[in-house]
Amino acid sequence: MRGRLTVRIFVDVMDNLMQKNKPDNRTMEVGVARIDITPSVPMRLSGFAARPVVKATETLHKLSAKALALGSDSEGPSIIITVDLLGVQWRIASQVMERISAKTGIDPAQIVIAASHTHGSPETGNLINVLQCRGDYPTRFYFSDRLLDLDELIAIAEYNEDLINKLEEVALVAWNDRQPAWVAWGQGQADFGVNRITPGGAVDNALPVLRVTSPEGVLRAVLLNYATHGITYGPDVDKFHGDWMGEAQLQLEAMFPGAVAMVAIGCAGDSHPAKQGKAAYVTAYGSEIAMRVKQVLESPMTPLVNPPVGKMTWVELPFGKLPTTLEWIERAKTDKTIKGYYARLALERLLRGGQLPTALDYPIQTWAFGEEMVMINMANEVVAEYALRLKHKFRPDRMWINTYANDVSCYIASRRLIKAGGYEGDVSMYWYHMPAPFAEEVEDIVLDAIDRMMPHSFKK
């Protein structure tokens, strides 16, 4: 009798699981596309100030841009693009959004470009921004032992223009590929990310997964998110690569032939992989993510039948007190670090009659998939405390947080880290060509803006 009861319970559990995981009868139109964005010429890599001044000539992982177009014309469609790059700045994202909007008619609030933040990607500052010391860690080119050569400047400018064209192309291919699909989402967890400032400190281990399946049950695409820096490979690896994010994509696409795997990053500003410096760690972390995602795909997932409704807002994040001209002069004369070097750049700007910015314009975007899930898209390198505060205030079981989205211009440190100083709250600002750390109230400004954008049903 006991054996029969055990079998009956097992059968009931499996039937119940299959019913829960059965796709909703209502489909959503979805298009999927990918494009290769690996540089075709040797280029400097971005991401590590400590990296030797060399050009990458070899490729460990091909770099890609991938796109999902969600929803029919009548529903108000959206497009999400993921890129295997350190970041895509607003000057690039805005051009891509304008082009897509002009050709499809969709609002820019319905477009998001999310970077994986791999430190094995090419420098993407264009010619003007590099010369003006703006861009992805551009100051290091001047702080290093050798200025950029003319061919390096040209390679960056040409790659920049090619990238804009390719991001537009991949979005339009996905747009034209739209066809009925079952869409669902769920959450798992991974645990190789650790706080790089405080042992045992704040991290967000959530692993949200979005699944796109054909009506025949074939996996077409999977989008995942995990909040950990792409620095498993160190600055000594001078080859193009996607780090653990690229490896996870490769392994998932090997598990599910024909499917497109996409990676976005959560609040990873102060989180990094527990182990670094070996190719074996990259493989192991990619495998961990792939297996955890597979587990989510095979578990009950929540159907998404409504394409997202997007909102986008801009807030001003004030910097703290800027030095006076005399203080800039003193810092330029005595400080031999990046702060002293930035002081010389600031003085040059002031002497030319220019002004230093007093605040940063910061974009925030929300996508509400009906009542089932809200995706928060935040620009820049956001630290983990923001995720924890958001998940304390809103429904964590219905929340997905992307950062490095639509712009990467500096770190977004928490009040605590701004007070503490250090790299994320202080030093990094000068590498990103900002005149000072943020004022402490920026954390509340960002979170209050998100609160105003969130649908009421997602609040606790």
pLDDT tens digits, 256-309: 999 999 999 999 999 999 999 999 999 999 999 999 999 999 999 999 999 999
The residue whose two tokens read 């400018």 is: 157
pLDDT band at 149 (very low <50, low <70, confident <90, very high): confident
- pLDDT, mean over the chain: 90
The whole-number pLDDT of residue 13 equals: 33
- Once rounded to an integer, what is the mean pLDDT over residues 249-253? 98
Q: Which two tokens stand for residue 432?
A: 């990103």
pLDDT in tens, 72-131: 999 999 999 999 999 999 999 999 999 999 999 999 999 999 999 999 999 886 333 333
d(CA 347, CA 344): 5
The whole-number pLDDT of residue 403 equals: 98
Say yes or no to pLDDT of 398 above 60.
yes
The whole-number pLDDT of residue 51 equals: 80
- Once rounded to an integer, what is the mean pLDDT over residues 344-354? 92
Q: What residues contact 166, with CB distance under 8 A and at least 6 apart? A: 35, 37, 65
Say yes or no to pLDDT of 8 above 50.
no
What HEC string does the chain produce? CHHHHHHHHHHHHHHHHHHHCCCCCCCEEEEEEEEECCCCCCEEECCCCCCCCCEECCECCCCEEEEEEECCHHHCCEEEEEECCCCCCHHHHHHHHHHHHHHHCCCHHHEEEEECCECCCECCCCHHHHHCCCCCCCHHHHHCCCCCCHHHHHHHHHHHHHHHHHHHHHHHHHHHCCEEEEEEEEEEECCCEEECCCCCCCCCCEEEEEEEECCCCCEEEEEEEECCCECCCCCCCCCECCHHHHHHHHHHHHHCCCCEEEEEECCCCCEEECCCCCHHHHHHHHHHHHHHHHHHHCCCCEECCCCCEEEEEEEEEEECCCCCHHHHHHHHHHCCCHHHHHHHHHHHHHHCCCCCCCEEEEEEEEEEECCCEEEEEECCEECHHHHHHHHHHECHHHEEEEECECCCCCEECCHHHHHHCHHHHHHHHHHCCCCCCECCCHHHHHHHHHHHHCCHHHEC
Q: Which two tokens stand for residue 62?
A: 């091909």
Say yes or no to pLDDT of 136 above 80.
no
Contact (CB, 8 A) for 244 and 205: no
Say yes or no to pLDDT of 140 above 70.
no
pLDDT band at 26 (very low <50, low <70, confident <90, very high): confident
pLDDT band at 1 (very low <50, low <70, confident <90, very high): very low
- Once rounded to an integer, what is the mean pLDDT over residues 231-235? 96
pLDDT in tens, 29-70: 999 999 999 999 999 898 887 787 778 999 999 999 999 999
Say yes or no to pLDDT of 14 above 90.
no
The residue whose two tokens read 């070899």 is: 58
The whole-number pLDDT of residue 161 equals: 95
pLDDT in tens, 363-379: 999 999 999 999 999 99
Contact (CB, 8 A) for 227 and 203: yes
Strand partners, 135: none
The whole-number pLDDT of residue 282 equals: 98
pLDDT band at 328 (very low <50, low <70, confident <90, very high): very high
Distance of CA 390 to CAs 112, 286, 412, Å? 20, 27, 15
Using CB atoms within 10 A of its CB, is residue 42 exposed (0-12), middle (13-18) or buried (19+)?
middle
The whole-number pLDDT of residue 138 equals: 43
Least confident among 22-26, 199-203, 333-337: 22-26
Region of residue 363 (left: phi > 0; alpha: psi -120 to 50; beta: else): beta
Query: In this structure, what are the phi and psi dihedrals at residue 389, rounded to the nearest 5 degrees?
Result: -70, -40
pLDDT in tens, 412-441: 999 999 999 999 999 999 989 899 999 999
Q: Which two tokens stand for residue 89?
A: 């700045």
Cα 434 from chain centre: 21
pLDDT in tens, 170-191: 999 999 999 999 999 999 999 9
Say yes or no to pLDDT of 443 above 50.
yes
